Structure 1
């Protein structure tokens, strides 16, 4: 009787596409970063007349506006400026993070993958 050695090699031939996850991550990451800038600008009492500060406030106002009025703002007066803690911006950051998590879970690549199986037999 002959002894045969069998080897099986299985390799994945279809690559997963993460394009949707990448685009969604960039979009939500940018929104989170802008909300963080808004929160820091308010906490440090940034000059509202500065074009960069104005731009960040205008871009993020729609999202933060959804959460305004839940908690009142806390103002701290300093020399020449007023620092404000805006809870609506912090709540908006948490809400956007939850939405991003849900969207990224939905965009997870499908499990339908193709495998190639090769069977080797070595006669002895």
Structure 2
């Protein structure tokens, strides 16, 4: 299920600023810090993130035209703030939700599969992790 663009716009300007305040305490939320591919500005986007064996999977609910996704795919510096930790991420790659599900750790898999986003997931590797 792809979320309509008007909802994405609302979330970007209203929901995301509020969500950033609670992401440190919720297990499947994290704040992705990325650099704008055109502006060079640093952005912080709250997202659904799930642990994989060498990094994280992030569900893509707004389609491939989403700004945060485009920014991360160009390969700029990307950090994840999750539950009080900051993790540098590399090697962004867009895959199907099913392909990423096989890499999500067993503890996170039921929640991952439960979200209705079925379009894609972004896989990122923790910087320095063996591939």
- In the superposition, the TM-score normalised over structure 2's length comes to 0.24
Higher relative contact order (CA closer than 8 Å, sequence separation 6+): 1
Which of the pair is proportionally richer in strand? 2
Which of the pair is proportionally richer in helix? 1
